[in-house]
Structure 1
Amino acid sequence: MAQHVRGVIARAKGEPVELTTIVVPDPGPGEAVVDIQACGVCHTDLHYREGGINDDFPFLLGHEAAGVVESVGEGVTEVAPGDYVILNWRAVCGQCRACKRGRPQYCFDTHNAKQKMTLLDGTELTPALGIGAFADKTLVAAGQCTKVDPAASPAAAGLLGCGVMAGIGAAINTGNVGRGDSVAVIGCGGVGDAAVAGARLAGARRIIAVDIDDRKLEKARSVGATHTVNSREADPVEAIRELTDGFGADVVIEAVGRPETYRQAFYARDLAGTVVLVGVPTPEMNIELPLLDVFGRGGALKSSWYGDCLPSRDFPMLIDLYLQGRLDLDAFVTETVGLDDVEEAFARMHGGDVLRSVVVL
């Protein structure tokens, strides 16, 4: 039967979030109910609260989560009750043209649970990124659950569900960073620092972190940056070229999502180098580049969707690297908080005081 649990919702644009009772139905065909153990506080959740995603209020917030499968619906074979899982927001369909071409990481028909979680009065909730994990339990499509080694800390493991995977994947999957490459990362929040860590995992020789905040640059050094540039104090394009023998970086990852930083990334790469856009722009943003420069510099201009990850492939691998001590996911956890601390966590995140707050249940 349906369960009544605690959940953090955003009722209206710009209003403080609210901890209330939500109704989680029994899982239907292809669905699973997951007992949430930890969930990261991501900028995307703040965007939902501010109406920056859409206006389908009320939202059930939270999506960077790890937990244990409590129950599954008819036909579910991917996971079973008791499995320790990381949640993802792109359950692949297996039938679209991308999936049939062997590129499920680009699935064009990803899906979520068909049933809706609700408030006690029956009001339907829109779960953030189809997950809604600022809650004791949530309902998802079974394909959104990826089984991983239960030895991994839930606070650290859950971060692979969004921001950390986006950054690591931008370096490894989209940017194809290889051994000996030079890499520059512009913007050193959670995603940018994860891109730094991904470049380090891939064997990059030189990793240049760029930001306007010295606190963030110091954190980037702790996860793998070999050099830092404060772009308030120096021209980042010239600084990156100076650190790469005058040529520019082999791969430049733009983790801000603004025209001015994208332009910096474009001109800070070597000839035939790669630019990866993983920062998310807003709808009104535009950029102009001389078409001759686009042609003459060669290389590739790429966008990274969710780090171009395939959760069934990437999550278990990265958790294994974490347990081997080769990927310090704990470094991304600044603090742990309770479900009733989400609004305060948003304020600290907005002020740049934390890399990630993580709600632990």
Structure 2
Amino acid sequence: MPQEVRAAVAVAKGAPTEIRTVLVPDPGPGEALVAVQACGVCHTDLHYREGAIGDDFPYLLGHEAAGVVEAVGPGVTDPAPGDYVVLAWRAPCGLCRSCRRGRPWYCFDSRNAAQAMTLPDGTALTAALGIGAFAEKTLVAAGQAVKVDPAARPEAAGLIGCGVMAGYGAAVHTGAVGSGDTVAVIGCGGVGNAAIAGASRAGARRVIAIDVDDGRLDAAERFGATDTVNSRGTDPIEAVRSLTGGHGADVVIDAVGRPETYRQGFYLRDLAGTLVQVGVPDPATTIELPLIDLFSRGGALKSSWYGDCLPSRDFPVLIDLYLSGKLDLDRFVTATMGLDDLERAFAAMRRGEGLRSVITL
């Protein structure tokens, strides 16, 4: 019997989200029903609301969540009812060409729930990133529900499900930051500061934070930045070069995803350095670079998909780091609010306020 829950729905492009009654089916084969306890407000949700990702409205928003498994479908043994989980938007299939090559973090056929959640009139909802967690309960593929230590408070744990994992993994996995490296991070929101934390833990000798907001730069220092650059009034390329003996950074992470920040990142690198783009760009934007510079500067230009993470491996590790005091997830949470306040959270995001608002349910 489907359950009625309250949920945040984006009904049309650019329209304010609406709190609607949503019907959540009982879990079928390979599915899990999760009672959501907290869900972070990510820029990706705003992109869905604005129609920047697709036009499959109505969308059931929310994807950065933690909660408790309430029921599982036939054949599911992991997770089990009662398990405390963080939801992942990648659940490797184990069968695609990437999984078979031993690269499940690039899975090309990631699993989602087969059944759709609907409005009472039967209208199917498109779940954001296959999750749809701005809801009291949500239906996901069992592989999307990753069991973690229940001692982690849900407001912090849920952030592992997207922004923190994306940033941390961009440094540790995609950028392969190593001991003694110099790292520059452009954009010090939730993703950027997670990249700073990851680079610091990976042994970077110098971590340079770049942003236009002094408050975010102050936060970056608390996450491990050794130097800060406010690019509103300073050329970040010259600033980074002056901090690195004129050379540039070994690894640059663009956590913004705009043409101007990508270009900055390209020239912030030392020769043969690595540029990692983890900020999600507007699909309409383009970039042009001199081909001779692409050749002569060498190195690597990489895109980081979800921090190139394997959720079943990485989520429990990051939660353990949090519980041992080595990764301060609580510092990312700058506001908590209820489901009815989602539009207020989006407005704060547009103004660049704080790192993460979290909806509690």
Using structure 1 for the length normalisation, give the TM-score. Answer: 0.98
Deviation (angstroms), 1:214: 1.3
8 Å Cα contact 2:52-2:283 kept in structure 1: no
- Quick one: percent identity of the two aligned structures? 73
Residue equivalent to 2:216: 216
Report the equivalent of 1:122: 122
Q: Letter of the aligned partner of 1:305 in structure 2? A: W
Q: Which residue of 2 aligns with 1:44?
A: 44
SS in 2 for 1:91: coil
Contact 2:48 2:59 in 1 (8 A): yes
Q: Which amino acid aligns with 2:273?
A: G
Who is 1:352 aligned against? 352
Instruction: Give the Cα–Cα distance (whole angstroms) in 1 for the partners of residues 17 and 107 of structure 2.
Output: 32
SS at match of 1:345: helix
Count matched residues: 361
C-alpha distance in structure 2 between counterparts of 1:215 and 1:51, whole Å? 30
Q: 3-state SS of the aligned residue for 1:232?
A: coil
Match of 1:231 in 2: 231
Q: CA deviation at 1:111?
A: 2.0
* Structure 1 counterpart SS, 2:35: strand
Does residue 71 of structure 1 match 2:51? Answer: no
Deviations 1:1-54 (A, max 9, x none): 211111111111111111121111000000000010100011111111111111
Query: Following the alignment from structure 1 to structure 2, what is the Cα–Cα distance between the partners of residues 78 and 201?
Result: 31
Instruction: Give the partner amino acid of 1:187.
Output: G
Instruction: Report the equivalent of 1:243.
Output: 243
Secondary structure of the corresponding residue to residue 179 of structure 1: coil
- Could you tell me how far apart the structure 1 residues matched to 2:74 and 2:160 are? 28
Q: Given residue 9 of structure 1, which amino acid in structure 2 is its aligned partner?
A: V
Which AA in structure 1 matches 2:53? I
The one-character-per-residue Cα deviations of 1:144-194 (angstroms, maximum 9, x if unpaired) are 111110101100010011111110000000000011111000111111111
Instruction: Write out aligned runs for 1:101-140 (5 A).
Output: 101-140=101-140
- After TM superposition, the structure 1 = structure 2 runs for residues 198-213 of structure 1, keeping only pairs within 5 Å, are 198-213=198-213
**Counterpart of 1:184 in 2: which secondary structure?**
strand
Instruction: Give the Cα–Cα distance (whole angstroms) in 1 for the partners of residues 254 and 46 of structure 2.
Output: 21
SS in 2 for 1:334: strand
Distance of 1:202 and 1:83 partners within structure 2: 31
SS in structure 2 opposite 1:209?
A: strand
Partner of 2:23: 23
| 1:142 and 2:142 are equivalent in the alignment | yes
1:179-328 equivalence runs, <5 A: 179-328=179-328
Compute the displacement of 1:283 (Å).
Answer: 2.3
What residue number does 2:329 align with? 329
After superposition, the C-alpha distances for 1:181-219 in whole angstroms (9 at most, x for unaligned) are: 110001111111111111111111111011111121111
SS of 1:6's equivalent in the other structure is strand
Distance 1:265 1:41 in 2: 26
Give deviations 1:285-340, integer Å, cap 9, x for gaps. 22222222222222111110011010011100000010110000001000111111
- What is the CA distance between 1:77 and its match in structure 2? 2.4
Separation of aligned partners in 1, 2:259 and 2:284: 11
What residue identity is the alignment partner of 2:337? Answer: V
Give yes or no for contact 2:253–2:265 (8 Å, CA) kept in 1: yes
- Give the residue type in structure 2 aligned to 1:84: Y
What SS class does the counterpart of residue 124 from structure 2 fall into? coil
Tell which deviates more after alignment, 7-16 or 23-32: 7-16
Asked if 1:161 is matched to 2:156, the reply is no
Residues in 2 aligned to 1:260 and 1:207: alpha-carbon distance in whole angstroms: 21
Q: 1:20 is matched by which residue type in structure 2?
A: R
Aligned to 1:99: 99
- The aligned amino acid for 1:228 is T
Shift of 1:76: 1.2
Letter in 2 for 1:318: L
- Distance in structure 1 (CA, Å) of the matches to 2:283 and 2:136: 34
Segments of 5+ residues of structure 2 without an aligned counterpart are none
| Structure 1 residue 282 displacement after superposition | 1.9
CA distance in 1 between partners of 2:47 and 2:268 (Å) = 30
CA distance in 1, matches of 2:115, 2:284: 34
- Over aligned residues, Cα RMSD in angstroms? 0.9
Moved over 4 A (4+): none
Distance 2:50 2:151 in 1: 36
CA–CA separation in structure 2 for the residues paired with 1:102 and 1:217:
38
Take 2:156 and 2:282, find their aligned partners in 1: how far apart are those partners? 29
Q: Report Cα offsets for 1:65-102 as digits up to 9, x if no partner.
A: 00010000011122100111000111111001110011
TM-score (norm 2): 0.98
Residue identity in the other structure for 1:250: D
**In structure 1, what is the Cα distance between the partners aligned to 2:202 and 2:192?**
15
